[in-house]
Amino acid sequence: MEEPGELPEAIHGGVAGVLEHDVIPFVSYPYEWSFSMLRDAALLQLALVRRAVEAGMILKDSSPYNVQFRGAEPVFIDVGSFEQLRAGEPWAGYRQFCMLFLYPLLLQAWKDVPFQPWLRGSLDGITPHELRSLLSARDRFRRGTFTHVVLHDRLERRYEARDDDLKGELKSAGFKPELIVANVKGLERMIRRLHWKSEHSAWKDYTLETTYEHEDAERKAAFVRDAVESEGPRLVWDLGCNEGVHARIAAEKAEHVVAMDADSVVVDRLYEALRAEGEQRILPLVANVVDPPPALGWRAQERRPLLDRGRPDLTLCLALIHHVSIAGNVPIAEFLDWLRGATGSLVIEFVSPEDPMARRLLARKRPGDHPDYRADWFERCLNERFDVVRSESLADGARTLYLARAKT
């Protein structure tokens, strides 16, 4: 902490000091986190509230947007949330904690409904009444539901139309800090008991379905390793990362890797593995390249779109383009246009229409639906937008890897 001189532009006049954070390599948002990521962020938030109260302080809010991830490690970044604990006042951030931490976790753990679309659609989270409406009669008998959902909903509806000074009532009643600590400890126990192990995943066993022989898998890994070595990237994106094999290879040389996949099951599994290893260079995120996170919030600037948060020096698109083009209905030329504007260098794998995985996707479509999904058209579009450094054929010619650099 530095002691600055006069800061006349400060809103409140006097300034005690200036704190400077370490730089977060890549900013992420709760609607891009997996279940275990949100759960760990919630436990971090609760631990900070409990320790703050014990020190005569309190956190005035409880937003997951105050947490970022350094790899697989949650980091609290909003020092300005701490303030002195006022005698007789409750934890003001309790409602926000429930709406943005607890209720999304309950929704996914108990109902197997992903919270990411909900948080992306509402930056305020899930209200007590909304969650109560979603729970079954059986759910309402689960431990903690009555206190944190049912009673919360009742009290909120009772007081929303009244002008009562609720804080004043609590202060007059002798509300004590020990009650905040007891509430926080109860929430910690409840959240630690929450687990989500969904079986609804298209890609959690993808490595068992691929057409690669061991030798081809090794050649693919070597191609990626050589590309990272030659390009010397600081930031790498791995799109469609699955279990993170190639993200780990990139992290051997790159400073930071953002490993993205649309499947929250595989991202959650990857996060738990990285957390166990103490990995801080790879950030796993739930993100769909066909429908990437947009700009959200006030003036569409509070939450930045994906590309505004850090342009990658190298992007890995391995076994992805058939999902984007065939399943996602994005023309090959359009996808390559986006990549040219998004990245410096590119490792991309073209999966031919004869490949079993591509054939499976094409079988679900009408004949002629994807006339552009051809190797010759892909190479023409790639060469118009990138300088191809080298390529390598795999799987008896059914798949081809390319290292390319975006044309300026």
Q: What percent of the chain has pLDDT over 90?
A: 77
Same domain, 342 and 282: yes
Same domain, 165 and 220: no
Closest CA to 115 of 97, 102, 132: 102
Tokens of 386: 């990138």
Q: Which domain holds residue 381?
A: 206-406
Give the confidence band of 13 by pLDDT, cuts at 50, 70, 90: low
Give yes or no for a contact between 400 and 391, defined as CB atoms under 8 angstroms apart: yes
Report if residue 14 sits inside a domain: no
Report if residue 182 sits inside a domain: yes
Report if residue 4 sits inside a domain: no
Report if residue 388 sits inside a domain: yes
Report if residue 6 sits inside a domain: no
Report if residue 201 sits inside a domain: no
Give yes or no for a contact between 230 and 250, defined as CB atoms under 8 angstroms apart: no
Report if residue 66 sits inside a domain: yes
DSSP state of 72: T
Same domain, 187 and 215: no
Tell me: pLDDT of 95 over 60.
Answer: yes
DSSP letter for each residue of 171-185:
HHTT--HHHHHHHHH
Dihedral over Cα of 305, 307, 310, 312: its sign = positive
Same domain, 186 and 211: no
Greater confidence, 212 or 189? 189
Q: At what angle do helices 264-277 and 35-54 cross, to 10 degrees?
A: 50
Of the three residues 137, 169, 192, the one that is the final residue of a domain is: 192
Tokens of 281: 């260079």
Compute the mean pLDDT over every residue in the chain, rounded to the nearest whole number: 90
Alpha helices in 173-294 (DSSP H): 177-192, 206-209, 214-231, 245-251, 264-277
Same domain, 147 and 227: no
Instruction: Tally the domains of the chain.
Output: 2
Q: Residue 137 is inside which H or E element, if any? A: none
Q: Is the pTM of this model over 0.85?
A: yes
Pairing of strands 386-394, 399-406: antiparallel
CATH assignment at residue 286: 3.40.50.150
Of the three residues 192, 216, 233, the one that is the final residue of a domain is: 192
Same domain, 167 and 243: no
Give yes or no for a contact between 210 and 231, defined as CB atoms under 8 angstroms apart: no
Same domain, 183 and 292: no
Torsion of CA 160, 165, 166, 171, to 10 degrees: 180
The pLDDT tens digits of the residues spanning 220-274 come to 999 999 999 999 999 999 999 999 999 999 999 999 999 999 999 999 999 999 9
The pLDDT tens digits of the residues spanning 197-232 come to 876 655 555 554 455 688 999 999 999 999 999 999
What lies within 8 Å, CB to CB, of 69 at 6+ separation is 28, 33, 37, 41, 75, 283
The pLDDT tens digits of the residues spanning 2-11 come to 455 555 565 5
Which residue shows structure tokens 């290893």?
Answer: 277
Same domain, 176 and 253: no
Phi, psi of 232 (to 5 degrees): 55, 50
pLDDT computed for residue 209 by the predictor: 44
Give the confidence band of 30 by pLDDT, cuts at 50, 70, 90: very high
Same domain, 115 and 237: no
Same domain, 298 and 231: yes
Same domain, 227 and 345: yes
- Mean pLDDT, residues 34-46 taken together: 98
Report if residue 25 sits inside a domain: no
The pLDDT tens digits of the residues spanning 46-70 come to 999 999 999 999 999 999 999 999 9
Same domain, 332 and 268: yes
Choice among 3-7, 72-76, 100-104, 341-345 with the minimum mean pLDDT: 3-7
Give the confidence band of 156 by pLDDT, cuts at 50, 70, 90: confident
Of the three residues 161, 192, 223, the one that is the final residue of a domain is: 192
